[in-house]
Amino acid sequence: MNDRFLPQAAAPAAIAFVLAQDLFPAWSGFHTWQYAAVLAILAIVVLQHARHVRGTVALLGAAGALIVVAAGVGSGLLGPDTEIVQRPPGTVAPLPDVGAAAFFPNAAASAIAAGTAAIVLRRLDGPAIEIGPGDRRFVSATELQLVSSPAAYVEARDGSGNRLTITQPANPAFLSPVLLFGQRVTIAGADLPADGFAVPAARRQIKAFYFSKDASQRARARGMAGVESVLFAVDDEAGKSIPGAIGFARSGQTIVLGGLHLHPTLGSYPSLAISAVPFPPALLIGGLLYFVALGLSLIGKHPNIVS
Amino acid sequence: MLRNPLAVAVAIVAIVVVVVTYRFYFAQVGGPEGNAFSGGPSVLAGAPAQSYPLIDLAGKSDSLDRYRGRVVLLNLWASWCAPCRSETPALERLYEAERSKGLVVLGVDQGESLHVAASFAAEMKLHYPILVDEEQLYGRAYESIGLPTSVIVDRSGRIVRGIDGELTLAQMRDAVGPSLRASE
């Protein structure tokens, strides 16, 4: 390592730090002053090096790196933190800052079990974009990605087998039979996703707690250890517990509690993670300038940025 | 600097990119909306009405789409819902009075079995079409925040307005009147 290594490495290091935002957009560290400070220090080193080397090519490379750094600082400090948009199936979430609306599909029990639901993004100024499980999409200076969360499609029936309406008075979708477990509850030291619903025809309120395989293994629930399941606790309409009306059900199993036949189908439903990323045109222009300068420098016909 | 056109060009590009990036991210601050509680059916005005194939009381396939070309009062209800029960006679009177002008009242039972919906319709002597929505698809899509929920759909299939709660006959006439008159 010679005494020029650090100045020479500053520009590619800065570019790499910025590109890392595209690779790991959800990392909260990009939105801290420390990250901006590192980029600022690297920018100063790049400027100093450009002044020392002089020449058009060095200036070109430095300008390119600085443009990339500006885009990185912009998305890091000014861009919003990663936000998770969770909506019930069948609803629409307006995303004015992305210039789009996210359509969350109406999911039947089979779609919840398969975990294959895709979110469709409709934009005023462009074609619709479908974002499926594992997909990443870039829209202007945001990266959109699906995050799968546990979900349960619940059917409730009376003793005669009649299907009963499920309501969720405390949730955004009043008439949804899909539980998204958006709350957290600690039971016996275990932090569990929780949700609740009502069956007005039977005058029942039900609390539901999601147990992953690990959680049920730790809880050592009878017959459910190591099995993904949901714990139902049935209350009357005044919220008073009904004796004995608490029990686990695995996916596809019907359990009778408080006179209700509850049948959950467990699986997952997507949320939309929205992360700020560096403004793509800035990355493109800055990166192009830097790599053109680097190429010219390596050819050796110009005052360069690598020596 | 001025003696070097390339340097000037690079400087201008850099300034433009920095300004655009800065302005862009200031516009971004704020995050997405609509992640809290539903705005209810009233926020849907102007949107295309979503339709899902269901069964009617005779067990035949039917959906909202089949009534395109008529003004539809889509009414979401359930047999256990007291305001739904009390609203139903007015819906029947509205249907009988305005059907000749192109109005359809389309009841959609939310989350109940066919025979529960059929018993309710027989008890209330209803003649307007009723769909059985066991999976509560319409309730979710129309952002219902309670029952009953009424949604007025014009002849082109667009939502005119969505209304939460029980309506009187006069309120129903006020709600469907403009759409019926617009297409006369």
User: A181 with A71, same domain?
Assistant: no
User: A25 with A103, same domain?
Assistant: no
pLDDT of residue A59: 83
User: A112 with A155, same domain?
Assistant: no
User: A170 with A261, same domain?
Assistant: yes
pLDDT of residue A60: 85
Nearest-CA residue of chain B relative to A279? B21
Question: What ipTM was reported for this prediction?
Answer: 0.79
pLDDT of residue A303: 54
CA A176 – CA A104 distance, rounded (Å): 13
User: A290 with A227, same domain?
Assistant: no
Look up residue B19 and give its DSSP letter.
H
pLDDT of residue B34: 35
pLDDT of residue A201: 96
Q: List the single residue in B14, B27, B38 with the smallest CB-CB distance to A172.
A: B38
Is A89 part of a structural domain of the chain? Answer: yes
3-class secondary structure per residue, B22-80? HHHHHHHCCCCCCCCCCCCHHHHCCCECCCCCEEECCCCEECHHHHCCCEEEEEEECCC
User: A119 with A215, same domain?
Assistant: no
pLDDT of residue B26: 47
Range of the structural domain that residue A89 is part of? 84-149+271-275
CA A302 – CA B1 distance, rounded (Å): 18
Kindly report the pTM of this predicted structure.
0.78
- Token pair for residue A158? 């009376």
Tell me what the mean pLDDT of segment A3-22 comes to.
83
Question: Where does the pLDDT of residue A219 fall: very low under 50, low under 70, confident under 90, or very high at 90 and above?
Answer: confident
Are B17 and A78 an interchain contact pair (Cβ–Cβ within 8 Å)? no
At A42, the amino acid letter reads L
- Which of A118, A120, A123, A77 has its CA nearest to residue A96? A123
Please report, for residues A135, B48, B166, B177, the alpha-carbon distance to residue B174 in angstroms, rounded to integers and kept in the order given. 47, 21, 14, 5
Is A107 part of a structural domain of the chain? Answer: yes
| A7, pLDDT greater than 80 | no
User: A62 with A10, same domain?
Assistant: yes
Asked whether A272 and A93 are in contact (CB, 8 A), the reply is yes
- Token pair for residue A94? 């307006």
Are B140 and A176 an interchain contact pair (Cβ–Cβ within 8 Å)? yes
User: A69 with A91, same domain?
Assistant: no
- Say if residue B148 is preceded by a cis peptide, omega within 30 of 0: yes
CA A34 – CA A27 distance, rounded (Å): 13
User: A124 with A234, same domain?
Assistant: no
Contacts of B30 (CB under 8 A, 6+ apart): A80, A96, A97
Best probe of the A interface among B24, B109, B134, by most A CBs < 10 A, is B24
Q: A6-10, A144-148, A184-188, A244-248: which has the minimum mean pLDDT?
A: A6-10
- Which of B78, B89, B82, B80 has its CA nearest to residue B125? B89
Are B140 and A106 an interchain contact pair (Cβ–Cβ within 8 Å)? yes
Is A55 part of a structural domain of the chain? Answer: yes
Are A165 and B38 an interchain contact pair (Cβ–Cβ within 8 Å)? no
| A23, pLDDT greater than 90 | no
Is A304 part of a structural domain of the chain? Answer: no
Q: Which tens digit of pLDDT belongs to each residue from A229-281?
A: 999 999 999 999 999 999 999 999 999 999 999 999 999 999 999 998 998 88
Rounded to the nearest integer, the mean pLDDT of chain A is 88
pLDDT of residue B35: 34
Strand ranges inside B48-158, DSSP E? 54-56, 61-62, 71-77, 103-110, 130-133, 149-153
At A39, the amino acid letter reads L
Q: Please give the angle made by the CA atoms of A175, A181 and A187, to the nearest 5 degrees.
A: 130
The full length of chain B comes to 184
| Counted domains in chain A | 3
User: A261 with A168, same domain?
Assistant: yes
Are B78 and A66 an interchain contact pair (Cβ–Cβ within 8 Å)? no
Q: Which tens digit of pLDDT belongs to each residue from A42-64?
A: 988 888 887 777 678 888 888 89
pLDDT of residue A22: 86
Is A306 part of a structural domain of the chain? Answer: no
| A306, pLDDT greater than 80 | no
Nearest-CA residue of chain B relative to A287? B14
Q: Which tens digit of pLDDT belongs to each residue from A107-162?
A: 889 999 999 899 999 887 778 899 998 888 888 788 899 999 999 999 999 999 99
Is A303 part of a structural domain of the chain? Answer: no
CA A120 – CA A95 distance, rounded (Å): 12
> Hey, how many other C-beta atoms are within 10 angstroms of the C-beta on B172?
24
| Grouped pLDDT means (10 residues each) for chain B, 184 residues | 57 63 48 43 82 96 96 98 97 97 97 96 97 95 92 95 95 96 74
User: A164 with A145, same domain?
Assistant: no
Is A305 part of a structural domain of the chain? Answer: no
Is A225 part of a structural domain of the chain? Answer: yes
- Token pair for residue A107? 């999911």
Helix (H) or strand (E) segment spanning residue B160: strand B159-164
Asked whether B38 and B143 are in contact (CB, 8 A), the reply is yes
Asked whether A173 and B143 are in contact (CB, 8 A), the reply is yes
How many Å lie between the alpha carbon of B11 and the closest alpha carbon of chain A?
7
Q: With an 8 Å Cβ cutoff, is B141 touching chain A?
A: yes
User: A166 with A223, same domain?
Assistant: yes
pLDDT of residue A6: 64
CA A127 to chain CA mean position, Å: 22
| A212, pLDDT greater than 50 | yes
